[in-house]
C-alpha cells in the first residue's frame, strides 16, 4: 500500500483537501488524478485557478479497501490527521477548500470520524469557517460524490469554488460576528421591537415540532443579528403574530409552507411576503430544482 502525498506547493496559500486516494491516484502517486481529478481541475479553472496554483492533498494518503472510508486502519487516519496538522502549522495556508465531510471536519479541527461534529456537507457547503487550527475554510461537495450522483451538484461545486476564489483574492477578511438572541423574558421584547422597527426587510423562518405544533419563529432584521421567539408563552405567541403581521416586507425560505402552517395552526396571517429564497433558487438554477420528481 502506497502513501500518496500532496501535489503542488504547500506554501501557495490555497489548499484543496480531499478524503483519500482512489485507484488511479494510488497508481500515479498523486491525489485527484482520475475522473474526480479531471472534474476538480475543470471547476478550479472555472474559478480562475490553474491546478498548479493550488496545493492538493488528502486527509489520509492511502487507498482504503473497497474505497470505503470506514475500512481505513485507525493508525492511517491518525497519521493523516497528524500530518495535516503538522503541514498546516508549517505553511499556514490562508484558505482550505475542503471537499466532502471528512475533509471539512479535518480542516475545521475536529475528528474526521466524528459524523456528528458538523452538519453534513450538503448543508455545510458554501459556508466560510474560521478553523480553530488557523486560517479560513470553505466546504464543498466532493467531486467523486458528484460524479456518482444524478443530481447536477457540479453547478454548486463551481459556485463554491468561485466563492473560494473571491474570498482568497479579498485576503480572507474577518468574518462578521453573528449574534442570536432567544427571547425568553418579556423585558427583551423592547430590543426585538427596536431591531425590527425601521428594518427594510425581515427574514423569517418557522420551526415546528414533530407533533406539528409551532416550535418557534426566527426573525432577522440584519445580516448579523437574529432573534428566536419560542412559541411557549402567550406573550411570545403575541410577538410572533406581531412580527408576521407587520407591514415590513418579508423574505422566507419556502414560505409557502410557513405561511400555510401559521394560518392553519395558529391563525396568523403573514403580510407582505415579498421574496422567497427557495423560489429564487429554483428559478436561477432550474437544473438543480425538483430533481426528485425525475425519478417517477
* CB of residue 155 to ligand URA, shortest distance in Å: 20
Q: Which of 93, 243 has the CB closer to ligand URA?
A: 93
- Side-chain-side CA neighbours of residue 201 (13 Å): 9
53: enclosing H helix or E strand = none
Q: Which of 58, 246 has the CB closer to ligand URA?
A: 58
Pairing of strands 14-18, 55-58: parallel
String of b and e for 262-285 (b: at least 16 CB within 10 Å)? beeebebebeebeebeeeeeeeee
**Chain residue whose CB lies nearest ligand URA:** 18
Q: Which of 101, 203 has the CB closer to ligand URA?
A: 101
Calpha distance 206→151 (Å, rounded):
28
* CB of residue 279 to ligand URA, shortest distance in Å: 34
| Extended strands (E) in 28-150 | 55-58, 95-99, 128-130, 136-140
236: enclosing H helix or E strand = helix 234-245
Question: Which residues bind to ligand URA, rule: CB under 6 A?
Answer: 18-22, 25, 31-32, 36, 58, 144
* CB of residue 134 to ligand URA, shortest distance in Å: 22
Q: Which of 146, 240 has the CB closer to ligand URA?
A: 146
In the three-class reduction of DSSP (H, G, I as helix; E, B as strand; rest coil), residue 269 is classed as coil
- Side-chain-side CA neighbours of residue 237 (13 Å): 12
- Side-chain-side CA neighbours of residue 13 (13 Å): 11
Residue count of the chain: 296
Q: Which of 31, 243 has the CB closer to ligand URA?
A: 31
Q: Which of 22, 139 has the CB closer to ligand URA?
A: 22
* CB of residue 236 to ligand URA, shortest distance in Å: 46
* CB of residue 31 to ligand URA, shortest distance in Å: 3
Place of cell 485527484: 32
Calpha distance 158→125 (Å, rounded):
12
* CB of residue 13 to ligand URA, shortest distance in Å: 20
* CB of residue 18 to ligand URA, shortest distance in Å: 3
Q: Which of 147, 289 has the CB closer to ligand URA?
A: 147
Calpha distance 213→235 (Å, rounded):
17
Amino acid at each position: 500500500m502506497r502513501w500518496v502525498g500532496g501535489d503542488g506547493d504547500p506554501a501557495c496559500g490555497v489548499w484543496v483537501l480531499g478524503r483519500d486516494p482512489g485507484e488511479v491516484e494510488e497508481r500515479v502517486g498523486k491525489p485527484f488524478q482520475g475522473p474526480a481529478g479531471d472534474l476538480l481541475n475543470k471547476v478550479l479553472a472555472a474559478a480562475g485557478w490553474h491546478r498548479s496554483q493550488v496545493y492538493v492533498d488528502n486527509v489520509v494518503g492511502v487507498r482504503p479497501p473497497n474505497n470505503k472510508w470506514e475500512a481505513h486502519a485507525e493508525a492511517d487516519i491518525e497519521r493523516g490527521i497528524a500530518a495535516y496538522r503538522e503541514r498546516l502549522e508549517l505553511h499556514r495556508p490562508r484558505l482550505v477548500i475542503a471537499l466532502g465531510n471528512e475533509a471539512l471536519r479535518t480542516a475545521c479541527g475536529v475528528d474526521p470520524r466524528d459524523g456528528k461534529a458538523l452538519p453534513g456537507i450538503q448543508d455545510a457547503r458554501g459556508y466560510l469557517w474560521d478553523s480553530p487550527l488557523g486560517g479560513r475554510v470553505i466546504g464543498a461537495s466532493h467531486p467523486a460524490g458528484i460524479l456518482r450522483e444524478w443530481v447536477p451538484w457540479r453547478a454548486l461545486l463551481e459556485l463554491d469554488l468561485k466563492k473560494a476564489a473571491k474570498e482568497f483574492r479579498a485576503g480572507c477578511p474577518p468574518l462578521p460576528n453573528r449574534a442570536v438572541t432567544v427571547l425568553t423574558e418579556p423585558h427583551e421584547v423592547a430590543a426585538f421591537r427596536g431591531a425590527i422597527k425601521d428594518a427594510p426587510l425581515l427574514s423569517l423562518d418557522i420551526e415546528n415540532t414533530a407533533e406539528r405544533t409551532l416550535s418557534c419563529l426566527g426573525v432577522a432584521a440584519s445580516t448579523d443579528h437574529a432573534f428566536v421567539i419560542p412559541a411557549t408563552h402567550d406573550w411570545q405567541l403575541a410577538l410572533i403574530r406581531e412580527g408576521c403581521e407587520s407591514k415590513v416586507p418579508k423574505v422566507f425560505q419556502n414560505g409557502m409552507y410557513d405561511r400555510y402552517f401559521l394560518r392553519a395552526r395558529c391563525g396568523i396571517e403573514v403580510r407582505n411576503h415579498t421574496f422567497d429564497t427557495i423560489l429564487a433558487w429554483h428559478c436561477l438554477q432550474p437544473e438543480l430544482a425538483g430533481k426528485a420528481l425525475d425519478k417517477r
